A and B are shown apart, each in its own frame.
Chain A
Amino acid sequence: MTETKEFEPKIIAFLCNWCTYTGADLAGTSRLQYPPNVRIIRLMCSGAVDPMYVLKASLAGADGVLIGGCHPGDCHYQEGNYKARRRVIALKEILHSAGFDDDRVWLRWISASEGSRFAETVREMTEAIRAKGPNPLKQMWAV
Chain B
Amino acid sequence: MKMSLAVENGNTLATLQAFLKRLLEKNLVDVLLVPMRTPGGTITPTLVSQVDLLDQADPLAPVLPINAATWAGKISQHQPRPRLGAVLRSCEARALVELTKMAQASLEDLIIIAIDCAGTYNPPTFLEKQAQASSNLWMELYNAARQTPQVLNPELRAACQVCEQPVYEAAPIRLRLLESDLGQSLLLEITSEIAEKLGWQANESQGMSPEVEALINSRTQAREQAFTQIRTRLEGEEGIPGVFAACVRCHNCMTVCPICYCKTCVFKSAIFDHEPMKYVEWAQQKGAYRLPADTMLFHLTRLNHMALSCVGCGMCTDACPSELPVGMVFRSIGQRLQQTFEYLPGRDVNEPLPLVTFKADEWTDIGV
Task: List A residues at the B interface (Cβ < 8 Å).
Answer: 50-52, 55-56, 59-61, 69, 71-73, 79, 81-83, 85-91, 93-95, 97-100, 107-109, 138-143
Contact = CB atoms under 8 A, between A and B. Distances in A.
Nearest to A139: B286
A93 B245 CA distance: 21
Interface string B345-365: 000000000111011101110
Interface string B235-247: 1101111000100
A140 B266 contact: no
Nearest to B290: A142
A97 B332 contact: yes
Interface residues of B, number: 46
Contacts of B356: 83
Main secondary structure of the interface of B (DSSP, over half): helix
A72 B333 CA distance: 28
Interface string B67-98: 00000000000000000000000000000000
Contacts, number: 115
21 contacts: A51-B301, A51-B304, A71-B367, A72-B360, A72-B364, A82-B359, A83-B358, A85-B358, A85-B363, A86-B358, A89-B366, A90-B304, A90-B337, A93-B333, A94-B303, A94-B304, A97-B333, A98-B300, A99-B238, A99-B240, A143-B241
Contact of B340 (A87, A90, A108): A90
B279 interface: no
A86 B366 CA distance: 10
Contacts of B234: 97-99
B200 interface: no
A109 B363 contact: no
Contacts of A56: 297
B336 interface: yes
